[in-house]
Amino acid sequence: MRLLAGLRDADRALSEQAASRVPPGVGKVLSAVEETAEGTKLWCAAAAAMSWRGGWRGRKAAVCGLAALTMAQLISNGLCKQLAERPRPPKEWFPRDQVEDRPDSSSFPSGHTAAAVAFTAAVAPAWPLAGALCTVPTAMVAVERVQSGAHYPTDVAAGAAIGLASAWLTHRAPHLILRHSQPLARLPRARCAPI
């Protein structure tokens, strides 16, 4: 109980600080970046640019990023939001009018953050420069989700964890599948008995 109360207090303190300390001009920039990330438009455009300009490495980075993003969206929006049903942060914590535009779905976890972190973390090993460039809008999306009142900081942290796990699974899945399928290949093949 103390842990949950501590998390609630930290959520409130961080949310109120983000809402009051982010200057209005910066808030507008954050909102613009979040708008382009809505529906994964920003990440799909980044993947297209990587494929076009990056050759084989760019195409690999794009595929890894989009695969991780898809997995993160399925986990965060398709599974976790259906199970959690956490209400959005209270409107009185946020002085701006943006709180009126937030969705009605569960607050936990942040699907925007999950997608952004998944894409960036999956792109980085395949093409480090592109991954480094993607960290800027990823961080902006995460901050905007708290600053605008759409999510608690713990929702954003959970979304980031889902994104990192999705990126890790995207890179590890082929190796895990190959490793677990090799023992099956060594088994003697079953033969049908003659009828």
Give me the tens of pLDDT residue by residue for the chain, a chain 195 residues long: 677 777 888 888 888 787 777 787 888 888 888 888 888 899 999 999 999 999 999 999 999 999 999 999 999 999 999 998 898 888 887 766 555 667 778 899 999 999 999 999 999 999 999 999 999 999 999 999 998 888 999 999 999 999 999 999 998 876 666 666 655 555 555 444 444
Q: Give the DSSP letter of residue 193.
A: P
Q: Give the DSSP letter of residue 22.
A: S
Q: Whose CA is closest to 111, among 60, 32, 166?
A: 166
- Nearest-angstrom CA–CA distance, 71 and 170: 8
Q: Verify cis geometry, omega within 30 degrees of 0, for the bond prior to 109.
A: yes
CA distances (Å), origin 12, targets 22, 58, 141: 16, 41, 19
- Nearest-angstrom CA–CA distance, 51 and 34: 23
Q: What is the reported pLDDT for 47?
A: 96
Beta-carbon contacts of 131 under 8 Å, excluding residues fewer than 6 positions away, are 61, 120, 121, 123, 124, 125
Q: What is the reported pLDDT for 194?
A: 45
Beta-carbon contacts of 37 under 8 Å, excluding residues fewer than 6 positions away, are 43, 112, 115, 116, 137, 141
- Nearest-angstrom CA–CA distance, 164 and 114: 8
- Nearest-angstrom CA–CA distance, 176 and 40: 28
